[in-house]
Amino acid sequence: MIQLYIANKNYSSWSMRPWVMLRQAGIDFEEVFVRFDSFAPDSQFKAALKDVNPVGKVPVLVHDGLAIWDTLAIAEYVAEQFPEKQLWPRERTARARARSVCAEMHSGFMALRSACPMNIEAHLPEIGALALRDKPALRADLDRICSLWSGLLAEHGGPMLFGPFTVADAYFAPVVMRIKTYALPVPADVAAYMERVCALPSVKAWIDGALAEQDFIDFEEPFRLQR
């Protein structure tokens, strides 16, 4: 049985990626929830993970006693274990492109991450407008995301970035959440793609879980003092 260690669905963008991937692919797994309380070495969060993952972070996938951390490593492992799920595009060049855009997300878009942390329950359009006005790097990140998504949708015909659902859509699902929370302006084709992502059963289930948590964590809330 696969176990997937995750943190709060409202805040944990990295946890969302493999959870959505597994759920959307119909792969059975046990969710192991580890609440964010602090990232200090003596926190309950770190204590819960110390025997599972040497870096003390989520997500972690455990299968047959093997622990895999980092979302790209998890994606590759699951794709190898379940080739029939076609989590990467079947065609070679599309598959290489999908890996490239996932790697770009993995290591990039720092301005978006910093200015617009994932917070599914919140609605912060004023923060988004101010951040776009004052942060050129955020504007550049948003332009790149819109260009990337528009190009892939046009090339592959939708409904997802590479036609059917792939790892790439799971990887960008938290970006969809950020754009919606902060009401960042996007073109019509991108907005339509975002709505299709939110309508995926896996993403809808994650959003429902995030809204049900009712857990306000102050260090994850740079813009609010309360819900």
- Give the per-residue pLDDT at 4: 98
- Give the per-residue pLDDT at 54: 86
Q: Which two tokens stand for residue 141?
A: 């990140």
Rounded CA separation 46/92 (Å) = 40
Domains 3-85 and 92-210 belong to one CATH topology = no
Alpha helix positions (H), the chain: 13-25, 44-49, 71-81, 92-107, 110-115, 125-134, 136-156, 167-181, 188-199, 201-213
pLDDT digits (tens, 9 = 90+) for 150-190: 999 999 999 999 999 999 999 999 999 999 999 999 999 99
- Give the per-residue pLDDT at 172: 98
Task: Write down the residue that tokens 């794709």 correspond to.
Answer: 79
Using CA atoms, how far residue 212 sits from 5, 47, 58, 206, 209, in Å, is 18, 25, 20, 10, 5
Q: With beta carbons less than 8 A apart as the criterion, state whether 17 and 170 touch.
A: yes
Rounded CA separation 153/151 (Å) = 6
List of the chain residues with pLDDT < 70: none
Q: In this structure, what is the dihedral angle of CA atoms 117, 120, 122, 127, given to the nearest 10 degrees?
A: 30
- Give the per-residue pLDDT at 129: 98
Read off the DSSP letter of residue 219.
G
- Give the per-residue pLDDT at 162: 98
Q: With beta carbons less than 8 A apart as the criterion, state whether 75 and 87 touch.
A: yes
- Give the per-residue pLDDT at 6: 98
Q: Which two tokens stand for residue 171?
A: 């990887």
On the CB side of 159, CA atoms within 13 Å amount to 9
User: For residue 56, which amino acid is it?
Assistant: G
Question: What are the extents of the domains in the chain?
Answer: 3-85, 92-210
pLDDT digits (tens, 9 = 90+) for 23-35: 999 999 999 999 9
Sign of the Cα pseudo-torsion (19, 22, 25, 28, in order): negative
192-200: which pairs have CB atoms within 8 A and are 24 or more residues apart? 193/149, 193/153, 193/158, 193/159, 193/160, 193/161, 196/158, 196/159, 196/160, 197/160, 197/169, 197/172, 197/173, 200/20, 200/24, 200/165, 200/169
Architecture (CATH level 2) of domain 92-210: Up-down Bundle (1.20)
Q: Domain 3-85 carries which CATH code?
A: 3.40.30.10
